[in-house]
Homo-oligomer: A and B are copies of this chain.
Amino acid sequence: MNYTLKYVPEREAKPREKGITMVMDKGLSVNEIENFLSVSGNHTDLVKLGWATSFVTPNLQDKLRVYREAGIPVYFGGTLFEAFIIRGQFEDYQRLLDRYGMEYAEVSDGSITIPHDIKCEFIRKLKGQVTVISEVGSKDDTVIIPPYKWIELMQAEIDAGSWKVIAEARESGNVGLFRGNGEVRSGLVEEILTKIPQESIIWEAPQKSQQVWFVKLLGANVNLGNIAPAEVIPLETVRLGLRGDTFNHFLKDFDIPVM
């Protein structure tokens, strides 16, 4: 921190198991990554190369190198996994992970339908090769999964070997966890948390109002994902109660009278 301010909530230090900020890179250039990391590297825990953008970015090896030199784990979006699966190319996907030296991989079923035991089987197969992050929730806004089912799916994927489970919201933040207008399905989140420990979940929350909602519910060290690169610094201030939206929220923890 550049200067001292009293009564600011404490943040976990890297490598973090909680308080994770997962950033979505949807096509940054090498220089743009360097610019981003020079400001936000210390506040960034994971980077996802969004869906199958890695297929069409010409500088993939360079991008991966820059993230690795900064010590930040990077992985391909789940839609790429699904694109290989639906084409019957799972082994090609495993070779791809090896060829690029990936240490993390996402297993998801947001665009395809896989029987859940088969999805868990993919998690078990991949966890020998990489750290697996799996995602629950559909990208289809007409699919509504009831809370007990979210819990069942998350628990089975953790049992199969997922390091964290991601709760789906897309880049736009209007499906899965959220209603079409971006509002949080708060009852769903609260019910999930009665059964699954919050350290095991990364909540996709691309919109500021969504980030604010989660920080107010779960504190500075909630795991949040699909954060745009330019929004990492703003999010960090939301976590610390240093933006209007959460300014007064943390003060009561320190018995500071709100003026």
Which residues in A have some Cβ–Cβ distance to B below 8 Å?
1-7, 26-32, 34-36, 38-40, 42-43, 50-60, 79-80, 82-87, 89, 92, 96, 99, 110-114, 139, 170, 172, 208, 230, 232-234, 236-237, 240, 242-244, 247-248, 251, 256, 258-259
- Quick one: given A242-B52, A247-B83, are A27 and B234 in contact (CB under 8 Å)? yes
Assess whether B27 is in contact with A256, with CB atoms less than 8 Å apart: no
Residue of B nearest to A259 (CB): B112
Contact A230 B92 (CB under 8 A): no
A43 to B58, CA, bound (A): 10
Nearest Cβ in chain B — how far from A208, in angstroms?
8
**Closest 9 pairs (CB-CB, A-B):** A27-B233, A52-B242, A139-B244, A111-B247, A29-B35, A112-B259, A56-B236, A29-B39, A29-B38
CB contact under 8 A between A111 and B56, given known A32-B35, A38-B31, A259-B86? no
- Report Cα–Cα, A132/B236, bound state, in Å: 27
Tell me the complex Cα distance, A96–B1, Å.
Answer: 13
